């Protein structure tokens, strides 16, 4: 307003034409300013909406920068984020169709300076400022003039990035400087953006965590399924007696677990040139068992040759499929998975399951399971083979022991035979000689019984020949034999039959027991002595006692009396009492020994049955 419009002048309330024009211009300016403010308000509200949306961080930044550019009436704007370690600023913001990827070290350039100082930089011409780096302009051909750079602070006041707007567009269309209002507005937008960015990061990290958790859960489920499978297979491992039944059980379990109709475990032949279908389950099991696949033939052969699992859900279309073999044996698998079986370091065969029930086919998770099961099969095979080897070795060692035992015990019948033979030579009476022949033949029976025992054992069947025995006859026979065995020695044999009725045991073996005890007694009494054979019943046990009045068992021997090779000074092998103990054990009985300087008594107790009502306990190996 001019002085001319002062009150008191005529027409002063209306003013001059010039004044009128000026008022009109002013009104137009106010209207334009109002429109700009309205537009600003709209943009601010759009920024608010964008910031509160759950956009991906990058999209959010692009949108944000578009709005900021419009709002600040700038040519372009850039948002820099501070790296997590706070050492770098990076920006990937698009402006004007360009993707700018800028990396700055904190402290470098104007943005870097703002990031480190936390202060606002508002300059009318960037080229006048030493902090400005014209390199970006040089690269892009852009000409930076005015430049407003503010820190973005989060709710805690910490700088999380930098906002920069370039080249303020003055209403004249020219470039002007940014004003104090612009600074305030950009600072406010920066803080809002900082909070939104942090939220978005947080949101993204929560999403990422959730995805991670979902993966972990799926993995855990898979692992627990695998563990279950292994547990099931392990159970089969411990239940099976020999390798074949072991493989059969594992395969059946694998097929069931994988929902397969059939399956096979094939082992490399000893020559290593083919695979033999050792174990087969499923409808064609009988036809397929023991069939051979050439090495590399079929998907199973392929898996073995390549040491690698394989899945095929359209076997007929797979060139590796053994279609001729399948046709010959009347099978037509559709889906199958196969894996090599590795034992130690070498491939020993392969396992295959075919035809998923429900026709859905197998997937990689199924194959992974089969590979795990193949690992178990490999272990089972090494285990089974070493068990078989051990069993053979054990059996050989046991046969050796048994042979030694039998050879040991053959001494007695041989001595008896030679005794009878000498008697026969001096005997004129034909009837008597006949009886001697009978006695000799009985000794041969005993000897052949012993050899039979070895052969039976070698074949794997070891029966205790438990039969009904009449004790008075049995003892009489044993004593007769002993008298012949000890002929020429000063050993008195005395019998005390507390029980002389029927009982049950392995007669030949019990003869060996008493012979061994008597021989030891005789050996301990080189000059002369007594040997007692006693029988009696105690409850449902039969007691057999062998006693002597010799010098007793040497202390050194006593502690390990029934062990193999526990021999005293007399030069024996130390087998006798070990054999005695084994036979008594096999009868489910016990043997004890009382010894002292006036004599030794061995007491055997075995279960007694006058009539045969049951079996003896199982033989211990």
Ligand X SMILES: Nc1ncnc2c1ncn2[C@@H]1O[C@H](COP(=O)(O)OP(=O)(O)OP(=O)(O)O)[C@@H](O)[C@H]1O
- C-alpha–C-alpha distance, residues 493 and 482, integer Å: 8
Residue 521 touches which of ligand X, Mg ion, none (Cβ within 5-8 Å per kind): ligand X
Least distance from Mg ion to the Cβ atom of residue 576, Å = 3
Query: Is the separation of the CB atoms in 74 and 93 below 8 Å?
Result: no
Least distance from Mg ion to the Cβ atom of residue 233, Å = 51
Candidate list 450, 553, 583, 584; residue touching ligand X; CB under 6 A: 553
Toward ligand X, which CB reaches closer, 107 or 596? 596
Toward ligand X, which CB reaches closer, 424 or 454? 454
Q: Count the helix, strand and coil residues of the chain and give each as a percent rounded to the nearest 5.
A: 50, 20, 30
Task: Confirm or reject binding of residue 405 to Mg ion (CB under 5 A).
Answer: no
How many residues are recorded in the chain?
A: 621
Toward ligand X, which CB reaches closer, 380 or 578? 578
Least distance from Mg ion to the Cβ atom of residue 542, Å = 23
In SS3 terms, 298-353 reads as: HHHHHHHHHCCCEEECCHHHCCCCCHHHHHHCCCCCCCEEEEEEEECCEEEEEEEE
Least distance from ligand X to the Cβ atom of residue 240, Å = 39
Least distance from Mg ion to the Cβ atom of residue 520, Å = 4
Task: Confirm or reject binding of residue 529 to ligand X (CB under 6 A).
Answer: no
Task: Confirm or reject binding of residue 604 to ligand X (CB under 6 A).
Answer: no
Query: Is the separation of the CB atoms in 303 and 310 below 8 Å?
Result: yes
Residue 177 touches which of Mg ion, ligand X, none (Cβ within 5-8 Å per kind): none
Task: Confirm or reject binding of residue 330 to ligand X (CB under 6 A).
Answer: no
Strand partners, 595: 600
Query: Is the separation of the CB atoms in 162 and 125 below 8 Å?
Result: no
Task: Confirm or reject binding of residue 545 to ligand X (CB under 6 A).
Answer: no
Least distance from ligand X to the Cβ atom of residue 236, Å = 44
Candidate list 38, 215, 570, 612; residue touching ligand X; CB under 6 A: 570
Task: Confirm or reject binding of residue 143 to ligand X (CB under 6 A).
Answer: no
Element of type H or E holding 280? strand 274-281
Candidate list 577, 583, 604, 606; residue touching ligand X; CB under 6 A: 577
Name the phi and psi angles at 129, rounded to 5.
-100, 130
Task: Confirm or reject binding of residue 600 to ligand X (CB under 6 A).
Answer: yes
Toward ligand X, which CB reaches closer, 282 or 413? 413
Least distance from ligand X to the Cβ atom of residue 555, Å = 10
Least distance from Mg ion to the Cβ atom of residue 579, Å = 9
Task: Confirm or reject binding of residue 443 to Mg ion (CB under 5 A).
Answer: no
Q: Which residues contact 513 (CB under 8 A, 6 or more apart)?
A: 544, 579, 580, 583, 584, 604
- C-alpha–C-alpha distance, residues 130 and 56, integer Å: 36
Interface map 573-592 toward Mg ion (x if CB under 5 A):
---x----------------
Could you identify the residue written with the tokens 């010959």? 328
Toward Mg ion, which CB reaches closer, 233 or 566? 566
Task: Confirm or reject binding of residue 521 to ligand X (CB under 6 A).
Answer: yes
Could you identify the residue written with the tokens 């193999």? 564
Among residues 131, 173, 117, 165, the alpha carbon closest in space to that of 145 is found at: 165
Candidate list 48, 361, 501, 568; residue touching ligand X; CB under 6 A: 568
Toward Mg ion, which CB reaches closer, 113 or 602? 602
Among residues 573, 574, 579, 413, the alpha carbon closest in space to that of 509 is found at: 579
Task: Confirm or reject binding of residue 151 to Mg ion (CB under 5 A).
Answer: no
The SS3 assignment for 141 reads: coil
* Tokens of residue 281, six digits: 């389950």
Task: Confirm or reject binding of residue 18 to ligand X (CB under 6 A).
Answer: no
Least distance from ligand X to the Cβ atom of residue 377, Å = 47
Least distance from ligand X to the Cβ atom of residue 409, Å = 9
Task: Confirm or reject binding of residue 574 to ligand X (CB under 6 A).
Answer: yes
Least distance from ligand X to the Cβ atom of residue 528, Å = 14
- C-alpha–C-alpha distance, residues 621 and 332, integer Å: 48
What residues numbered 497-526 form the site for Mg ion, per CB under 5 A?
520
- C-alpha–C-alpha distance, residues 22 and 549, integer Å: 154
Least distance from ligand X to the Cβ atom of residue 579, Å = 8
Task: Confirm or reject binding of residue 573 to ligand X (CB under 6 A).
Answer: yes
DSSP state of 108: S
Could you identify the residue written with the tokens 């859900």? 313
Toward Mg ion, which CB reaches closer, 229 or 546? 546
Among residues 348, 353, 351, 352, the alpha carbon closest in space to that of 384 is found at: 348
What sign has the CA pseudo-torsion 114, 118, 124, 128?
negative
- C-alpha–C-alpha distance, residues 517 and 531, integer Å: 10
Query: Is the separation of the CB atoms in 593 and 580 below 8 Å?
Result: no
CA triple 92-96-100, angle to 5 deg: 25
What residues numbered 373-432 form the site for ligand X, per CB under 6 A?
408
What residues numbered 268-287 form the site for Mg ion, per CB under 5 A?
none
Candidate list 78, 297, 481, 520; residue touching ligand X; CB under 6 A: 520
Task: Confirm or reject binding of residue 575 to ligand X (CB under 6 A).
Answer: yes
* Tokens of residue 71, six digits: 């709002």
Toward Mg ion, which CB reaches closer, 230 or 557? 557
Residue 567 touches which of ligand X, Mg ion, none (Cβ within 5-8 Å per kind): ligand X
Q: What Rg do the C-alpha atoms of the chain give, in angstroms?
A: 53
List residues binding Mg ion (CB under 5 A): 520, 576
List residues binding ligand X (CB under 6 A): 408, 516, 520-521, 524, 548, 550, 552-554, 557, 566-568, 570, 572-578, 600
């Amino acid at each position: 307003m001019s002085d001319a419009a002062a009150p008191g002048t005529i027409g002063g309330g209306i003013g001059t034409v010039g004044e009128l024009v000026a008022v009109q211009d002013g009104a137009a300016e106010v209207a334009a300013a109002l429109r700009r403010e309205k537009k600003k308000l709209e943009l601010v509200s759009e920024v608010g909406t964008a910031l509160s949306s759950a956009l991906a961080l990058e999209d959010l930044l692009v949108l944000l920068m578009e709005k900021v550019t419009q709002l600040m009436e700038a040519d372009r704007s850039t948002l820099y984020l501070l790296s997590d370690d706070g050492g770098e600023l990076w920006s990937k913001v698009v402006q004007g169709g360009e993707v700018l990827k800028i990396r700055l070290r904190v402290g470098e350039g104007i943005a870097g300076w703002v990031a480190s100082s936390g202060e606002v930089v508002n300059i009318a011409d960037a080229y006048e400022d030493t902090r400005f780096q014209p390199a970006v302009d040089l690269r892009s051909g852009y000409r930076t003039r005015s430049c407003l750079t503010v820190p973005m602070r989060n709710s805690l006041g910490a700088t999380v990035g930098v906002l920069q707007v370039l080249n303020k567009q003055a209403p004249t269309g020219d470039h002007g400087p940014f004003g104090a209002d612009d600074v305030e507005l950009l600072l406010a937008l920066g803080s809002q953006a900082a909070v939104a960015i942090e939220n978005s990061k947080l949101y993204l990290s929560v999403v990422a965590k959730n995805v991670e958790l979902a993966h972990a859960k799926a993995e855990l489920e898979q692992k627990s399924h695998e563990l279950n499978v292994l547990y099931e297979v392990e159970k089969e491992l411990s239940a099976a007696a020999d390798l074949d039944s072991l493989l059969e059980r594992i395969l059946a379990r694998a097929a069931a677990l994988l929902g397969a109709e059939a399956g096979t475990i094939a082992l490399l032949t000893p020559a290593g040139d083919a695979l033999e279908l050792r174990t087969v389950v499923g409808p064609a099991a009988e036809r397929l068992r023991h069939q051979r696949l050439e090495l590399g033939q079929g998907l199973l052969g392929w898996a073995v040759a390549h040491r690698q699992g394989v899945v095929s859900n359209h076997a007929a279309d797979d060139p590796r499929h053994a279609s001729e073999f399948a046709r010959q044996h009347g099978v037509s698998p559709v889906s199958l998975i196969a894996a090599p079986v590795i034992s130690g370091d070498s491939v020993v065969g392969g396992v295959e399951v075919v035809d998923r029930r429900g026709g859905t086919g197998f997937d990689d998770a199924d194959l992974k399971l089969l590979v795990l099961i193949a690992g178990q099969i490999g272990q089972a095979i090494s285990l089974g083979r070493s068990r078989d080897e051990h069993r053979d070795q054990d059996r050989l060692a046991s046969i050796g022991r048994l042979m030694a035992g039998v050879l040991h015990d053959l001494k007695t019948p041989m001595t008896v035979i030679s005794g009878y033979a000498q008697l026969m030579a001096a005997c004129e009476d034909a009837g008597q000689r006949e009886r001697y022949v009978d006695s000799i033949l009985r000794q041969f029976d005993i000897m052949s019984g012993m050899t039979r025992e070895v052969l039976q054992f070698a074949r794997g069947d070891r029966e205790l020949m438990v039969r009904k025995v009449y004790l008075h006859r049995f003892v009489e026979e044993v004593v007769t034999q002993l008298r012949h065995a000890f002929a020429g020695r000063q050993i008195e044999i005395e019998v005390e039959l507390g029980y002389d009725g029927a009982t049950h045991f392995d007669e030949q073996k019990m003869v060996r027991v008493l012979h061994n005890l008597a021989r030891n007694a005789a050996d301990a009494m080189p000059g002369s002595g007594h040997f007692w054979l006693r029988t009696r019943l105690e409850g449902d046990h039969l007691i057999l006692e062998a006693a002597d009045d010799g010098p007793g068992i040497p202390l050194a021997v006593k502690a390990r009396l029934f062990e193999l090779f526990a021999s005293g000074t007399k030069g024996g092998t130390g087998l006798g009492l070990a054999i005695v103990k084994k036979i008594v054990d096999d009868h489910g009985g016990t043997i004890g020994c009382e010894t002292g300087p006036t004599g030794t008594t061995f007491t055997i107790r075995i279960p007694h049955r006058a009539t045969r009502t049951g079996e003896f306990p199982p033989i211990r190996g």
